[in-house]
């Protein structure tokens, strides 16, 4: 019995179907991009709050005599740099 369509065309159609399926299926990395934009902002705000609390802890440690003022200054510089980065990302996220 003769095939109404050549085997080459069937293979090509099958390959095209597989490619279409691959393109159409959602990928795990796309799921992160489709998440609510506020979720990322919430994470950033939580990080901001933790950094602000760490700055307060430094001040309390110096006031209680558990830390030298020089160590506090170094800690504030480190935390401040990270806090500035987080704040810039929050502002960029709120602007979009």
> What are the tens digits of pLDDT across the range 23-75?
777 777 655 554 555 668 999 999 999 999 999 999 999 999 988 888 889 99
3 pLDDT above the threshold of 60: no
Task: Specify the higher pLDDT residue, 95 or 30.
Answer: 95
Mean pLDDT across 6-33: 72
Q: Could you give the residue ranges of the DSSP H alpha helices within the chain?
A: 7-24, 28-33, 37-63, 69-95
Rounded to 5°, the CA angle 52-53-59 comes to: 95
Q: What's the distance, Cα to Cα, between the start and end of the chain in Å?
A: 63
Please give the angle made by the CA atoms of 69, 66 and 59, to the nearest 5 degrees: 55
Tell the residue number behind the tokens 């902002």, with chain if given.
41
pLDDT at site 34: 45
């Amino acid at each position: 019995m003769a095939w109404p369509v050549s085997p080459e065309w069937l293979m090509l159609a099958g390959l095209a179907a597989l490619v279409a399926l691959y393109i159409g299926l959602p990928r795990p990395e796309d799921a992160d991009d489709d998440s609510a934009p506020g979720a990322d902002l919430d994470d950033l705000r939580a990080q901001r709050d933790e950094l602000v609390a760490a700055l307060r802890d430094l001040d309390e440690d110096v006031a209680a005599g558990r830390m030298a003022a020089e160590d506090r200054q170094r800690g504030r510089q480190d935390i401040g740099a990270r806090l500035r980065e987080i704040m810039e990302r929050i502002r960029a996220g709120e602007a979009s």
